[in-house]
Amino acid sequence: MRKIALLWILQIALLLVPLTSGAYPSELLDELKARRDMPHPRILLAAEATDDWRESIAADPIKQSVASFVVKKAEVYLNKDLVAYELTGRRLRGPCRAVMNRIAYLGLAYKLTGDPRFAKRGVREMLNVASFKDWNPSRFLDTATMTAALGFGYDWFFHEMGEAERRSIREAIIKQGLLPSFQPGNNRWVGSKNNWNQVCQAGLTVGALAIFEDATEIAAIIIDRGIKNVPTALKAYAPDGAYPEGPGYWEYGTSYTVLQITALESVLGQDFGLSAHPGFLESSDYYLHTHRPDRQLFNYSDNSLNKPVNPASFWFAAKRNKPALLWSELPKLQALIASEPGEGIKDRFFPLVLFWAGEIAPDAEPKELSWHGRGHTPVALHRSSWEPDATYFGIKGGSPRVNHAHMDAGTFVLDMGGVQWVEDIGAQSYNSLESLGLHIWSNDADSDRWRVFRFGPWSHNTVIVDGQAQDVDGRTTLTHFTNDPFTQVTLDLSEAFGGRLASAIRTASLPEPELFEIRDRLTADTSDRDARWAFFTRAELDIKSGKIAHLRRDGRTMRVSLLAPADASFKNISTEAPNNWDGPNPGSSMLGLTTSIPANETREIQVRFELIDY
């Protein structure tokens, strides 16, 4: 049936007239019209390519193991209850991701085996959510996720559905997914500079590509809008791939952009230049190097220590012919496929490894020991080797104005001898704060966000001046990076302190493989200033004297030495939650010091870290 109901036509016309403004995507519309007879399935894998795809999996032991796990997990879903509509605070995220997970596993299991049980269960899942009252368009990330899930399912299970089932799911994609994206209260993300743009454009693109033969005009507008607007978000990758929102949100936003790219390529034969944006491909190096020796992340800003297998890394490794990009991912993959399949949703894109992976080289090890990038949130990352006991440090600049940022400009982490000694405290559950009435999504100076212990400067490995928060409009830049004769990184933090310091320069260096130093050179403005210097640790802290402290963890000992200033002493700073809304921080402490800086004078703080349990 090539015509959608008259009601749909009227709704589309009313919604789209003010948006087209003479920029109707006529070329793309003509191309979609020319492809109306394109058969299903077509998204990510065309029907005629299925046999070759299965043969490529059979020839690769790792892909074989992935395929076996996918089928095994899909079996789990055959007898589970259907997903229920259940908001957590303002989010429908859990149900939407659960549906995406189920459709991905059931869909790939169906493609791998041809077993109709998987398709029939997938159709039940889709009909169930098609009957939801909405897909939570006020938080459009949820809507986009559900639209992508049903787009996949509609395309992949097309031949196992009757016409009535197809119509119900097709109309749900249009009514619940595509049309709400034109309502002003729902589409603030369209031209945004952050991951919302990436996630929403990709999710709607998949939905549009699935049903374009029956709703060609709206599909053309949706697809064209994504192609034209997602580059606004992709500018954040420039110039060299340092993703502003941190590695966890790189995985989130970038995975959806890879989905958009590969979906466009599979149906329209090209990605319209999206993968060529400056820094986009290189950002896969950034993600690799943000992994510490134990393969946990440098989790600055709103990021977590651990992320599941990232299927997009397999696409980057194949696209760039750089198998070492999978150093961080293959152990995660092996751990996942060795586990007992459950109902977890964090691996919802994992089956796409079977679409995105090229030839996998399990023993490929990266060659580069250092990486640094500038952009909105500059970072520098270095390790002594790719072994588990390597010395590793990461340090970042940036601004609190960046999406998901904390007041953590200048923060650093340090691993040595197989132990994390200096850590980032990490983020706090958004819902735990929102449910108490805190408004945490403004980056203005008076935002509730900066009243949260984990988001403000007080929990981070940096300097605080006069007990004040960092300047939300200040920006910390990376001014110097060298590996000759040893690794040294310099950041200019001067703007972070709202004019209270005339200059603030932080230098991190690794003069020896197991000796790390942080040196801050702070110059006061025309008033006397007080500075607090500190770092967060989960090691046992033992202050031996004002100038020496020992950290003990996992049977290892690190000595921390205060080399300057002469009149300062180490102290233990509590990490106990200061407010009723702050999460607990058990088993942690901060080692720090305070010092005074007379007006117009410079004070240097120098701290050395070295292992002593040889």
> Is the domain of 248 the same as that of 376?
no
> According to the 3-state scheme, what is the secondary structure of 262-284?
HHHHHHHCCCCCHHHCCCCCCHH
Q: Which domain holds residue 441?
A: 370-611
Using CA atoms, how far apart are residues 1 and 165, in angstroms rounded to an integer? 13
> 525 exposed, middle or buried (CB, 10 Å; 0-12, 13-18, 19+)?
middle
Q: Where are the alpha helices (DSSP H) in 139-282?
A: 140-156, 163-172, 195-211, 216-234, 247-268
> Is the domain of 347 the same as that of 390?
no
Q: How confident is the model at residue 107 (pLDDT cuts 50, 70, 90)?
A: very high
If one counts the domains in the chain, the total is 2
* Mean pLDDT, residues 441-467: 98
- Residue 137 domain-assigned (yes or no): yes
> Is the domain of 308 the same as that of 424?
no
Q: What pLDDT digit, counting tens, does each position of 51-71 carry? A: 999 999 999 999 999 999 999
Statement: residue 13 has pLDDT above 90 = no
Nearest to 155 by CA among 97, 204, 211: 211
* Mean pLDDT, residues 292-304: 97
Statement: residue 330 has pLDDT above 90 = yes
- Residue 13 domain-assigned (yes or no): no
Beta bridge partners of 393: 382, 414
> Is the domain of 324 the same as that of 348?
yes
Please report the pLDDT score of residue 489 as a whole number.
98
> Is the domain of 595 the same as that of 498?
yes
> Is the domain of 349 the same as that of 393?
no
> Is the domain of 431 the same as that of 327?
no
- Residue 300 domain-assigned (yes or no): yes
> Which CA distances in Å does 454 have to 1, 302, 396, 426, 609?
54, 9, 16, 7, 24
Q: How confident is the model at residue 10 (pLDDT cuts 50, 70, 90)?
A: very low
> Is the domain of 558 the same as that of 452?
yes
Percent of all residues in the chain with a pLDDT value above 90, rounded to a whole number: 93
Q: What pLDDT digit, counting tens, does each position of 170-227 carry? A: 999 999 999 999 999 999 999 999 999 999 999 999 999 999 999 999 999 999 999 9
Statement: residue 614 has pLDDT above 90 = no
State whether residue 597 is helix, strand or coil: strand
> Is the domain of 113 the same as that of 232?
yes
- Other beta carbons within 10 Å of 499: 13
Percent of all residues in the chain with a pLDDT value above 70, rounded to a whole number: 96
> Is the domain of 346 the same as that of 270?
yes
Domain of 424, CATH number, reads: 2.70.98.70
Please report the pLDDT score of residue 606 as a whole number.
98
- Residue 4 domain-assigned (yes or no): no
Please report the pLDDT score of residue 60 as a whole number.
96
- Residue 5 domain-assigned (yes or no): no
Domain endpoint, select from 356, 380, 411: 356
Q: What pLDDT digit, counting tens, does each position of 535-570 carry? A: 999 999 999 999 999 999 999 999 999 999 999 999
Please report the pLDDT score of residue 462 as a whole number.
98
Please report the pLDDT score of residue 390 as a whole number.
97
Please report the pLDDT score of residue 66 as a whole number.
97
- Residue 425 domain-assigned (yes or no): yes
Statement: residue 419 has pLDDT above 80 = yes
Domain endpoint, select from 313, 332, 356: 356
Domain endpoint, select from 324, 356, 388: 356
DSSP state of 600: T
Q: What pLDDT digit, counting tens, does each position of 340-357 carry? A: 887 776 788 999 999 999
Domain of 346, CATH number, reads: 1.50.10.100
> Is the domain of 133 the same as that of 233?
yes
Task: Output 344 or 42, whichever has higher pLDDT.
Answer: 42
Please report the pLDDT score of residue 346 as a whole number.
76
> Is the domain of 306 the same as that of 431?
no
Statement: residue 12 has pLDDT above 70 = no
Maximum CA pair distance of the chain? 82
Statement: residue 18 has pLDDT above 50 = no
* b/e map 259-275, b = 16+ CB within 10 Å: bbbbbbebbbeebbebb
State whether residue 345 is helix, strand or coil: coil
Q: How confident is the model at residue 25 (pLDDT cuts 50, 70, 90)?
A: confident
Q: What pLDDT digit, counting tens, does each position of 462-485 carry? A: 999 999 999 999 999 999 999 999
Using CA atoms, how far apart are residues 346 and 358, in angstroms rounded to an integer? 23
pTM across the whole model:
0.95
DSSP state of 403: T
Structure token pair of residue 102: 């189920």
- Residue 216 domain-assigned (yes or no): yes
Using CA atoms, how far apart are residues 256 and 32, in angstroms rounded to an integer? 22
- Residue 578 domain-assigned (yes or no): yes
Please report the pLDDT score of residue 482 as a whole number.
97
Structure token pair of residue 433: 């704060």
